[in-house]
């Protein structure tokens, strides 16, 4: 959930709770005031009745009854207030009344006085006040919600604009990122921090890129000189067998070092997203091209690879990277296959499956795509082929999964 939604919901819940509590307190307070007013009216009415009895005048009220008491056991008590229903002839219905029952001593005689007054008008008054309060509360909620939305939108617009610019920020861009100005101090400070951070990251990225490229070039040049010199030494007519074998060993090590240098440079370029070109490539054509180039290599193990994929299956990627991905997976299948093994490439639901028969791995499958993690039986491998495959898949958002079932190694590449 977004921050604005969280704060808006918290504010709304807080306001609603406060309004409900306020409404409850208001209702209880008004009801108490109304009852006190009714009690005061009934008490004054009882006093007028008492005065009328004392002066010998008749007191007529349809909601009042006066009864003289003669029992000696009757004593004065507190006034008793209660609610009652009285039938209204004019409206043909029962209405709420508040009644006072009291015993008064008038000139030495005891009288039980019962009198009532209507609560309808007061209840209507109470209902009107409460309805007005609810209306004002609802209006307040609506106005506050509108103000909150417009204010937060105005305040947070620069933040969301800057967030999009950060999300689209590329290390390869030579221009510094420009942030939208904000009137909020915290956002201004955040912009300043992000500007310094992105500028530093760009500088570090440029320095790292220059270092890797320069280091690769500087390493590759002496390696080429070494390999050239070893070739010349290997052709010397005075070279004995032991020296020739030694030269071949050195030459092999230099070749592996040169290949390792190129692979590490390739990994760095992929991680830094230096491959920006992308074309729509037909996978079957690319696979056929690789298998034609590797036909003699597979023939040494009496392997005849098969392709069973859709003619129209294609992906959008850099041609060089797709070549490397397919070439590494085919080379891996060749390297881990016995003589006469089966190597198949199939497609299913936008997925490309490379499978080959062979013995189970003697390494942890979860570490199969880590750099320099390789089987002890493949000393010639540098342990970078599958790591490069993994990096290419991550670059394009593809999925790479390994499994071993029914005597087959399977690498599944899921294209999205």
DSSP 151-178: HHHHHHHHHHHHHHHHHT--TT--SPP-
pLDDT at 411: 92
Query: Do 106 and 52 touch, CB atoms closer than 8 A?
Result: no
pTM recorded for the entire structure: 0.49
Task: Give CA separation, 6 vs 11, 13, 52, 144, 147, in Å.
Answer: 9, 11, 69, 16, 16
Dmax (CA) for the chain in angstroms is: 158
pLDDT at 127: 80
Q: Cα 361 to the chain's mean position, in Å? A: 38
Task: Give CA separation, 62 vs 86, 117, 118, 201, 404, in Å.
Answer: 11, 10, 12, 93, 100
pLDDT at 335: 84
**What tokens were used for 218?**
């500087």
d(CA 256, CA 252): 6
Query: Do 183 and 159 touch, CB atoms closer than 8 A?
Result: no
**What tokens were used for 133?**
């309060």
- List strand residue ranges (DSSP E) for 187-300, in order: 279-282
Query: Do 413 and 393 touch, CB atoms closer than 8 A?
Result: yes
**353: which residues sit within 8 A by CB, 6+ positions away?**
344, 345, 346, 347, 410, 411, 412, 413
Gyration radius from the chain CA atoms? 47
Q: Can you give the pLDDT of all 416 residues of the chain as single tens digits?
A: 566 677 777 878 888 888 888 888 888 888 888 888 888 888 898 888 888 888 888 787 888 888 888 765 566 767 888 888 888 777 778 888 889 998 888 888 888 888 888 877 777 777 888 888 888 888 888 888 888 778 777 888 888 888 888 888 777 677 778 888 888 888 888 888 888 888 888 787 777 777 776 776 677 777 777 778 777 777 777 777 787 788 888 877 777 777 777 777 777 777 767 677 788 888 888 888 888 888 888 889 888 888 888 888 888 888 888 888 998 899 888 888 888 888 999 988 788 899 999 888 777 777 788 877 665 445 456 677 888 888 888 888 899 999 988 888 999 999 87
Query: Do 281 and 312 touch, CB atoms closer than 8 A?
Result: no
- C-alpha closest to that of 251 among 220, 235, 222, 228: 228
DSSP state of 314: E
What are the residues facing 83 on neighbouring strands? 98
- List strand residue ranges (DSSP E) for 56-173, in order: 64-69, 80-88, 93-106, 109-118
DSSP state of 237: T
């Amino acid at each position: 959930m977004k921050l604005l939604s969280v704060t808006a919901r918290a504010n709304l819940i807080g306001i609603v709770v406060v309004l409900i509590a306020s409404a409850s307190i208001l209702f209880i307070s008004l009801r108490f005031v109304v009852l006190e007013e009714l009690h005061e009216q009934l008490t004054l009415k009882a006093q007028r009745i008492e005065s009328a009895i004392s002066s010998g005048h008749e007191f007529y009220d349809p909601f009042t009854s006066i009864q003289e008491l003669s029992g000696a056991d009757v004593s004065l008590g507190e006034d008793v207030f209660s609610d009652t229903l009285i039938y209204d002839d004019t409206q043909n219905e029962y209405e709420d009344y508040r009644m006072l029952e009291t015993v008064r001593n008038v000139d030495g005689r005891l009288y039980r006085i019962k009198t009532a007054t209507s609560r309808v008008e007061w209840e209507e008054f109470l209902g009107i006040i409460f309805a007005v309060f609810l209306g004002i509360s609802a209006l307040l909620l609506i106005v506050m919600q509108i103000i909150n939305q417009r204010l937060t939108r105005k305040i947070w617009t620069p933040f969301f604009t800057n967030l999009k610019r950060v999300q689209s920020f590329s290390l390869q861009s030579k221009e510094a990122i420009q942030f939208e100005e904000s009137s909020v101090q915290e956002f201004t400070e955040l912009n300043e921090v992000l500007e310094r951070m992105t500028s530093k990251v760009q500088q570090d990225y440029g320095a790292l890129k220059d270092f890797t490229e320069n280091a690769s070039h500087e390493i590759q040049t002496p390696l080429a000189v070494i390999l050239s010199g070893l070739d010349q030494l290997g052709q010397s007519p005075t070279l004995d067998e032991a020296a020739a074998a030694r030269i071949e060993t050195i030459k092999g090590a230099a070749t592996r070092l040169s290949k390792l240098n190129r692979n590490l440079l390739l990994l760095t370029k992929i991680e830094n997203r230096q491959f920006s070109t992308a074309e729509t490539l037909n996978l079957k054509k690319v696979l056929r091209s690789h298998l034609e180039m590797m036909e003699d290599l597979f023939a040494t193990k009496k392997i005849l690879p098969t392709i069973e994929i859709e003619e129209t299956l294609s992906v959008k990627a850099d041609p060089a990277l797709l070549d490397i991905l397919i070439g590494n997976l085919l080379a891996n299948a060749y390297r881990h296959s016995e003589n006469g093994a089966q190597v198949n490439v199939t497609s299913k639901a936008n997925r490309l499956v490379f499978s080959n028969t062979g013995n189970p791995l003697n390494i942890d499958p979860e570490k199969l795509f880590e750099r320099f993690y390789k089987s002890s039986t493949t000393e010639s491998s540098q342990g970078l082929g599958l790591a490069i495959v993994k990096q290419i898949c991550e670059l394009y958002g593809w999925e790479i999964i390994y499994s071993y079932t029914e005597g087959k190694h399977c690498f599944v590449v899921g294209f999205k």
